[in-house]
Amino acid sequence: MIKATNLTKKYDKITALDDLNLDIGDGEIFGLLGPNGAGKTTAVKIFTGLLKPTAGEVIVGGYDIQKEPQKTKKIFGLVPDNPFIYKKLTGYEYLNFVGDLYDVPGDVREKKINEYLEMFELTGQRNDLIENYSHGMQQKIVFSSVLLHNPSVIFLDEPMVGLDPKGARLVKEILFELSKRNVTIFMCTHTLEIAEKVCHRIGIVDKGKLIALGTKEQLHRMAKDKGPAGVKDNLEDIFLRLTDAGEYNSIIKYL
Ligand SMILES: Nc1ncnc2c1ncn2[C@@H]1O[C@H](COP(=O)(O)OP(=O)(O)OP(=O)(O)O)[C@@H](O)[C@H]1O
Ligand SMILES: [Mg+2]
């Protein structure tokens, strides 16, 4: 459903993404992890046509995003790291506006908007301006807008930031359900606990390079092989070992 081949993005001084190859199947929940500046957002922006790669190609749902951007954009949804929403609209008006963009028929649209506002507990605020919403409430509106047109693929860049525990749980359940319905999910996150619970496979990028790819069990094995012995079976320890985060005792002395 998502295929990246030899994807590279170079800026003047750095290579933000270095020869990325990925093949993500229908209904898979894929998590891309990596330290700050590793290239995760760059990858999402290229996958969704917001950035042009320096080299390589991306196929989403059978379409080449470079060659057929309009067709590709119809089949995916994006929750970006810094969503742009028209804050002078109410939550309801914004969702209607997105419905227009994607040609969601009126009766279906009305039903879905009402259901999503209810699901995210925003019915009481539906007619308030988005500028008066909290960060998490805005994030919930962005989620709702992405679900409106039944995308086959959803890209999420740090989706859990700002959500309260109930909202985060709800999003987790939504992702599971979408995956069951064969929607493919590509998620960048620093929330390792979410990645561990939700993702079928995980990729780790570091300085633009994909340094690990597989299930949590496969990554655990890779981390153990890297040595020294004794990596715990949790994604935090696995991640820190694979990204050479090192020992903290020597750093803590700076405090
Ligand atoms: N427009 C730009 N011009 C120059 N360098 C850029 C530009 N955009 C991103 N970069 C660089 O590309 C690298 C990857 O950035 P990116 O935003 O993809 O990282 P990230 O993995 O999403 O990090 P974070 O976890 O902090 O969100 C960084 O070194 C960043 O400084
Ligand atoms: Mg980012």
pLDDT in tens, 86-97: 999 999 999 999
**Atom from ligand 1 closest to the CA of residue 188:** 22
Residue 218: its pLDDT value, please?
Answer: 96
| Strand stretches in 47-169, DSSP E | 55-60, 63-64, 76-79, 153-157
- CA of 166 relative to ligand 1 center, distance in Å: 30
The CATH number of the domain holding residue 75 is 3.40.50.300
The pTM is what? 0.94
Run of H or E residues at 17: strand 15-24
Domain count for the chain, please give it.
1
Q: Which helix (H) or strand (E) holds 45?
A: helix 40-47
Structural domain including 203 reads 2-81+153-214
Q: How many Å lie between the centroid of ligand 2 and the Cα of residue 207?
A: 12
**Is 126 among the domain residues?**
no
Q: Peptide bond preceding 228: is omega within 30 degrees of 0, i.e. cis? A: yes
Share of the chain above pLDDT 70, in %: 97
Ligand nearest to the backbone CA of 18 = 1
The finding on whether 34 has its CB within 6 A of some atom of ligand 1 is yes
For residue 81, give the ligand 1 atom closest to its CA: 27
Which amino acid belongs to residue 254?
A: Y
- Least confident span in 16-25, 33-42, 217-226, 243-252: 243-252
Is 114 inside any structural domain?
A: no
Residue 141 lies inside a defined structural domain of this protein: no
Closest residue by CA, ligand 1 atom 5: 11
Mean pLDDT of 118-125: 96
